[in-house]
Structure 1
């Protein structure tokens, strides 16, 4: 399978994990358990962060998440910032901007349309990258199925929140851009240093945002705990779990499982936040997930 077709995975840490993961061992069941834990942790983190929206708003929660992500990746990547050249800094700065915009638009969408729909629409970004890399008829059919699922999710209804869906689609564009930029950064910056530096840049960008939120909306202890928990569950835990996973399962299996995240998001939104979905929404989510699954399972190499 082409490298491009294995990208639909957790955006925040995919490049760093791939750089750090050694050769796989022979304990696949442990890897599967880690994949389940990573997916659930990521979606539980988003759900937990939404509990702080009434006090901090999506912007405040994203700011805290960016701080936590920067601490994790800077500790792991240990970038030598003084050695970066101008040619290296340009894509790193752009990657940091895209990273922040991606999370901000996703959390804004979660606030307006719910966790399941927001994550599903965001997933269209990496799915489009994977399908665009292929010229097979089967992948064209998968693209049509995914597009039909997206249209069904966004069909006009009296309660349709087009702003929220627009934010989710912006997150999808940012996720696709994040994948492409990570490739560019990975070519000119060794190891996980590029991703770590980009996370640090994004955190610096959100420092004035965080200060503004604190002044305008003084946080409560509970909201801070929720926001920090969201950062840990959606940042530190997925990174460590994915690092553990890639030592034990093939990259294709990893990408295939991560494509189930929209289903996990819908389930977590329903159980934790009470965000129920109708059969049409579930069918649409299933179509998008199935399109990715069929495409990945049918590829070779």
Structure 2
């Protein structure tokens, strides 16, 4: 695989696109279980699947963690759980394309704040304009769904910054694995309560597990390989595909009919991400550009999004 990618940036970009496509497909498939498990139940099962994948690879030595290491890991676990729970709740209310596009304001804000270039300010303005075009505020707008998507965006931003600290204090990907374990354990009581009250059919578990596979395991494996050989510029451009893929998959799998103005808003957000995540950047801003794309799906190199 490494020899296939090295010297061929187009091939690396194709794998990044595959990772993005898998992530958004997993979110759509997981939504099929909302009727019985609900967004929180699906997120709980997805987090457990992520914990299994990461622990099998990282094998974190939890007993050797110090208090100084556990503090950022616990905060990272909080952002893990709230970010995904908010995203799936927003998906249930406003649709996949809208929820993911709004959520991308989080990493965009971190990238813009890290460099403070003039072009980044332009990127923020384009993104805000795109979100306004996408949501088209009116008396009938689901403002609660939009607010929940914004909570996901804030948590993603906090997730990026916290993960950087975890990467400094915990070797390898052990911190990410430990945070995933904590978040899945924290959501376990919610899952037990849902199963006790609703008794979902076996298909619901299948859809939720598929979401964990498509949104965590496959992107994790692809990112593990690709991030060793592609440039930050290529990776940043690939990241901007997520809102676009979310809109397309929402249309194909969930029959989410978005008007032309909404698609124009998604394109503006994609362009704003591409504008902000590419081009010359100072050392201060370079790290987040790689990091937030990966950590959206509990990726393996926290110091190098999501989901």
- TM-score between the two structures when normalised by the length of structure 1: 0.89
SS at match of 2:104: helix
Deviations 1:116-161 (CA, angstroms, capped at 9, x unpaired): 0000000100000001112322221121111222233333224311
User: Structure 1: any 5+ residue segments left out of the alignment?
Assistant: 1-20
Distance in 2 of aligned mates of 1:180 and 1:262: 22
Shift of 1:73: 1.1
Q: 2:160 aligns with which of 173, 179, 195?
A: 179
Could you tell me which residue of structure 1 aligns to residue 151 of structure 2?
Answer: 170
What is the aligned residue count? 280
Deviations 1:200-235 (A, max 9, x none): 101111111110010011010111111110111001
Match of 2:78 among 97, 105, 109: 97
CA deviation profile, 1:160-181 (whole Å, cap 9, x unmatched):
1111111100000000000000
Aligned-pair CA distance for 1:300 = 4.9
Q: Which residue of 2 aligns with 1:265?
A: 246
User: Residue 11 of structure 1 aligns with which residue?
Assistant: none
Q: Name the counterpart of 1:63.
A: 44
- Contact 1:109-1:168 within 8 A present in 2 as well: yes
Higher relative contact order (CA 8 A, sep 6+): 1
Query: Which stretch of structure 1 is more off in the superposition, 124-133 or 146-155?
Result: 146-155
The residue aligned with 1:12 is none
Distance in 2, matches of 1:182 and 1:234, equals: 19
Provide the rounded CA distance (Å) in 1 between the counterparts of 2:85 and 2:133.
25
Q: Which of 131, 144, 147 is equivalent to 1:150?
A: 131
Describe how 1:1-301 pairs up with structure 2 within 5 A. Answer: 25-300=6-281
Structure 2: 5+ residue runs without aligned partners? 283-307
User: Who is 2:297 aligned against?
Assistant: none
Instruction: Look up the match of 2:302.
Output: none
TM-score of the pair, normalised by structure 2: 0.87
Structure 2 SS opposite 1:55: coil
Tell me the residue number matched to 2:289: none
Instruction: Return the offset for 1:42.
Output: 0.3
Contact 1:121-1:168 at 8 Å conserved across structures:
yes
- In 1, distance between residues paired with 2:88 and 2:253? 16
Q: Is the 8 A contact 2:31 2:92 kept in 1?
A: yes
Contact conserved, 2:134 with 2:264, CA < 8 A, in 1? no
Whether contact under 8 Å (2:127, 2:269) holds in the other structure is yes
On the 8 A contact 1:34/1:244 being kept in 2, the answer is no
**CA contact under 8 A between 1:72 and 1:236: conserved in structure 2?**
yes
Alpha carbons 1:41, 1:233 under 8 Å: kept = yes
Distance 2:277 2:216 in 1: 26
Measure the CA separation in 1 of the matches of 2:62 and 2:281: 39
